[in-house]
Structures are given as C-alpha cells and as structure tokens.
Amino acid sequence: MLNGFDQMRTTFGTAKRLFIAFTLLVSTFAVASYLTLAHVRQIHDGLLQMKDHEEGVRVALELASAVRDQYAHQAHTIILGNDSHLPLYTDAERHVTTLTARVRKHALRADERAWVADIERATGDLDRIFRGQIVPAVLRHDVADVQSEHGRAQAVVTLIQDRADRLVDRFEASIGDFQREVAALQTSAYRWTVFFVLFAPLLAVVVGAYVLRSVARPVARLQAGAARLARGDLDTRFDTDAPDEFGALARQFNAMTVALKDHQEKLVQSEKLAGIGRLAAGVAHEINNPLAVILGYARLLRRKADGAAAEDLKVIEDETLRAKLIVDGLLDLSRPLASEPEPVDLRALCDDAIARLRETRLLEELGVRVIVTGAGEVQGHPQKLRQVVLNLVKNAAEAAGEAGRVEVRVEGAPDGARVVVRDTGPGLSRDARAKLFEPFFTTKDTGTGLGLAVSKGIVHAHGGEIDAESLADGGAEFTIRLPAVPPGRV
C-alpha cells in the first residue's frame, strides 16, 4: 500500500516527468523559432525604414537642386530683362512643389515637419516675390526695385537651401542610426542562433538520456522479468522501490508472481489430493466389505473363545474397527453431498451432536464440561454438519483433557452463521496448524487424521470456511463460517 506522500510522488510519476521534459524541449524550439522570427522581422523593418530615409535624402537633395534651378530662371529673367524664361520658371516652380510634397512624406518627426512647412512657405514667398515684384520691375526696367527684390528672393532661397540641407543631414543621421540598429539586431540574432544551435541538441540529448533511464530501462527490465516468468521461473522478482508507475507496475508484477506461485502450488496440491482421494476411495470401497466380514467373524469367534485366544481376537476386532474407521473416513472424503439443502437449526444441531458424544461416554471419561450458547440457522445438510460439529467437539474434549472445558458458540447473522468451538487444551503447535486439515495428519495414537480433512470438505461443500487458531491464554479455537444458503446444490 502506498502512503499519502508516495501516492503524491506516484502522481508526479514518469508520465508527468516525461510530459514536462518534452514540453521543455518543444518550448525551447518554440522560443528559438520565435526569437529568430522576431529578429528577422525587426531587421526587415529596419531595412525598410533605411530605404525610406535614403529615398528622403535623395528627394531632399533633388529639392535643393530644383530650388537652385527655380532661382536660376529668376536670375535669367533679371539678366535678360524680359519674361522669356517665365514658362521655364513655371515648370521649375511646379517641380519644386512636387518634390516638397514628396519630402513631406519622409518627414516623420515634429522638427522635420516644421522644416518642410518652412520650405513650403518660403517657396510660396519666392513665387510671390518673383511674379509679383521682380517680373513687373524687370519689365519696367526699374533696376533699383529689381535689386532690392532680388535680395529678398536670395534670402528666401538661402532659407529653403538651409531647410533642405537640415533634412538631408537628419535623414542621413537616421540612416546611420538604423544601420547601427540593424547591425546590433544581426549580432543579437547571430548570438541567439549560436546559443540554440549548441543548447537545443544538448537539451535533446539530456531528454533522450532521461527517457532511456526512466522508460526504456524499466521497460526492458519488466520485459526480461516477463520472459523469465514465461519460461516458468515463478521466483522472478523485481527489486525496486521507485515511486513511479514502473515501481507500481513492478510491485504488482511481484504480487502477481507470488499469487501465481501460490495458486500453482495449491493447484498441484489439490490435484495431488484429488488423485490420492480417487485412489483411496477406490481402495476403501473394495476393502470395506472384507473388513466387515473380518469384523463379523472376529466377534463371533471371540464369543466362543476364552483366555489368551479371546484377548488376541479382541486385538483383531479393535484393529479391524480402526481400519474400518479409516475406510469410512476415506469414503466420506470422496463422497459428494447428494441431497438438497434444508433449513438447519445450528443450536439444535450442536446440542444433538454433543448428546451423541455423551452416548460414547467419552466426555464423562475425560471429565470435560461442554457448554453450548447462542443460536443460528442456515440452509444445509444436517447430518454432515452434525458430523463436523461432533468431530470438532470430540477433538476439543480430547485436547482439553481432565477437568477441561469446551465452549460451543453459535452466532447467527442475516448472511449466514458461525459456529465457534473453543477449548482449554494446550492449543496448536506451529507444525500442527500448518497440517491440521491435511488427510492422515494426527498426533494421537489411535487417531486416523481424517476428521478435520473430512470436516473441511463438508464445510467447503456448503460454500463455507473453516479455520483454527491458538488462543493467547492457551487452548484452541476452531471457527466454521457458513453462508445462509450454500451456492448451488450441496
């Protein structure tokens, strides 16, 4: 039996530990896969952002060049003194507007957006100065006005260049940041990959070794044990106290082999007994009639004889009687109970058995006091059950001896009854207890050793049990347990 602690340890047995080991292995691979994918994803995002900022740098540089182009057309208009460059200026101005819109998409931070807003505002200012002030002044040939407005236009262009340069610097700096970030991610991904490449096989080896130790080996041992058992070695045992399923299996296997051996021994014993019984019954049957004839003639001759011859004939008569008792006992052992069971008043049956015993004057000769108490009723075979009680009380009286005491207790219960015969004799020796119910076991000079064997056969035929024990304060106690109704025909 397992105690509570062992039970708990068994609950966390091999199956659970294997589950944990495999979960650990699978989790490790899952974490490794997740980390690798996360790194790949971050590197991919970083590369995308780098590309975006590279595009930003390119557009910002293009914007700076387009503004210079726009300004060049303004300069040509001033130098030529006419508006022939106006269509080219318009194209350049549109190009600047388009590029500014593209730069805006790459400006993500607040200051970057503010610089783009400055460029937009300045581009509008530049256009207004050119179209509203410079072109009319050029056409008017107003040199002073042209010079002053040209100065303003230059300041605006410088501002646009400055903002475009800032954006280029910022985008380039971001590209540097992203490059460092991606490089760091690559290093980290590389380290994790190396770690898992080394750690995962190591973990797999540890889990494999654990599976080998906790599953494969016990299974191999159990298999070897089962093979020994199959070869007929019923002394096969597993020396294990493992608190897991295999330990429990091994303990059950041990219990099974013990039970199997016990069962086999009983089977062999009962086969042996059955064989001996059949042989003995056959012999007894054949001897019974000659014995009756010998006994008859011995008695007849004794009546006619006297002196030494009469004494010799008495010996022949006694020994023939003893032989007849043995023969009757053997026939009892082999005879099945033929009739239908009927209600049996066990108290009356015990009283009757003791009355018959009194007729033999045995109790009187021994000076033994017999007390009967209790009551109970079962279905059974009264004659045979009386024979059992008579035999038990006779044995008890013989054991109790002079001034001894025998107590017969009948205990009735709804599912059957018990008859307990207790005496004040010397009790049962260890040897006697082991062989009590074997045929021909006797410690008495004139005993047959068949009384208890026959009694056991009768009780078993009633579906009951009989057992014996030595009492602590001396004496022996025999108990018959009978079911209320015997199974099948008795």
The two structure tokens encoding residue 448: 């047959």
Stretch that binds ligand ADP, among 212-220, 251-259, 266-274, 393-401 (CB under 6 A): 393-401
Amino acid type, 135:
V
Measured from the CB atom, is 379 or 395 closer to ligand ADP? 395
Nearest approach in angstroms of CB 310 to ligand ADP is 28
* Minimum CB distance to ligand ADP smaller for 128 or for 444: 444
Angle at 41 between CA 38 and CA 44, to 5 degrees: 150
CA distance 331 to 14: 59
Structure tokens at 431: 């040897």
Nearest-5° angle of CA 487, CA 489, CA 490?
A: 90
The one among 175, 327, 428, 480 contacting ligand ADP by CB under 6 A:
428
Among all chains, which residue has been given the structure tokens 């009962």? 270
Q: Which of the ranges 240-248, 280-288, 340-348, 438-446 carries the binding residues for ligand ADP, by CB under 6 A?
A: 438-446
According to CB under 6 A, which one of 33, 269, 339, 443 is a site residue for ligand ADP? Answer: 443
Torsion of CA 102, 103, 109, 114, to 10 degrees: -110
Residue number, 76 or 324, with CB nearest to ligand ADP: 324
Helix ranges (DSSP H) in 143-234: 143-211, 217-230
Does 441 sit near ligand ADP (CB under 6 A)?
Answer: yes
- 457 touching ligand ADP, by CB under 6 A: no
**Which residue type does 198 have?**
L
Looking at 64-72, 123-131, 155-163, 423-431, which segment touches ligand ADP (CB under 6 A)?
A: 423-431
Q: How far is the CB of 444 from ligand ADP (least distance, A)?
A: 4
Query: What is the number of alpha carbons within 13 Å of residue 423 lying toward its C-beta?
Result: 22
**How many CB atoms sit inside 10 A of residue 315's CB?**
10
423 near ligand ADP, rule: CB under 6 A? yes
| CA distance readout (Å), 200 to 186, 188, 189, 192, 208 | 20, 18, 16, 11, 12
The reply to whether 401 sits near ligand ADP by the rule CB under 6 A is: no
Give whichever of 357 and 450 is closer to ligand ADP, judged by the CB atom. Answer: 450
Q: Report the alpha-carbon distance of residue 133 to residue 114 in Å, rounded.
A: 27
CB of 435 vs ligand ADP, minimal distance in Å: 8
Copy the structure tokens of residue 157. 């262009």
Q: How far is CA 345 from CA 161, 410, 427, in A?
A: 128, 10, 29
- N-terminal to C-terminal alpha carbon distance within the chain: 38
Nearer to ligand ADP, 333 or 490 (CB): 333
Q: Which region, judged by CB under 6 A, interacts with ligand ADP, from 135-143, 222-230, 266-274, 420-428?
A: 420-428
Among 341, 451, 463, 486, binds ligand ADP (CB under 6 A): 451
Q: Which is nearer to ligand ADP, 122 or 453 (CB)?
A: 453
Instruction: Closer to ligand ADP by CB, 425 or 463: give it.
Output: 425
CB of 473 to ligand ADP, least distance (A): 14
**Structural contact between residues 330 and 280, judged by C-beta atoms closer than 8 angstroms:** yes
CB contact at 8 A, 69 and 98? no
Residues binding ligand ADP: what is the number (CB under 6 A)?
Answer: 21
Interface residue with ligand ADP, options 436, 459, 461, 466 (CB under 6 A): 436
Which residues make Cβ contacts (< 8 Å) with residue 157, sequence separation at least 6? Answer: 67, 68, 71, 126
Q: Which two tokens stand for residue 451?
A: 């009384």
- For residues 147 and 360, which CB has a smaller minimum distance to ligand ADP in the complex? 360
Q: How many CA atoms lie within 13 A of 416 on its CB side?
A: 15
Nearer to ligand ADP, 13 or 447 (CB): 447
Selected range binding ligand ADP among 38-46, 145-153, 247-255, 436-444, rule: CB under 6 A: 436-444
Q: By C-beta, is 78 or 428 nearer to ligand ADP?
A: 428
Select the residue interacting with ligand ADP from 405, 447, 465, 479 (CB under 6 A): 447
Radius of gyration of the chain from Cα atoms?
A: 58
404 binds ligand ADP (CB under 6 A): no
SS3 of 380, please? strand
Of 356, 409, 346, 416, nearest to 382 by C-alpha is 346
Q: Choose, by CB under 6 A, the member of 291, 449, 465, 467 that binds ligand ADP.
A: 449
For ligand ADP, the closer of residues 372 and 450 by Cβ is 450
How many other C-beta atoms lie within 10 A of the C-beta of residue 99?
22
Strand 405-413 vs strand 369-375: parallel, antiparallel, or unpaired? parallel
Residue from the set 16, 41, 444, 460 that interacts with ligand ADP by CB under 6 A: 444
Using CB under 6 A as the binding rule, whether residue 391 contacts ligand ADP is answered as yes
Contact pick of 32, 75, 287, 432 for ligand ADP (by CB under 6 A): 432
CB 335 within 8 A of CB 384: no
Is residue 448 a contact residue for ligand ADP (CB under 6 A)?
A: yes
Residues forming contacts to ligand ADP in the complex (CB under 6 A) are 391, 395-396, 399, 423, 425, 428, 432, 436, 441-444, 447-453, 476
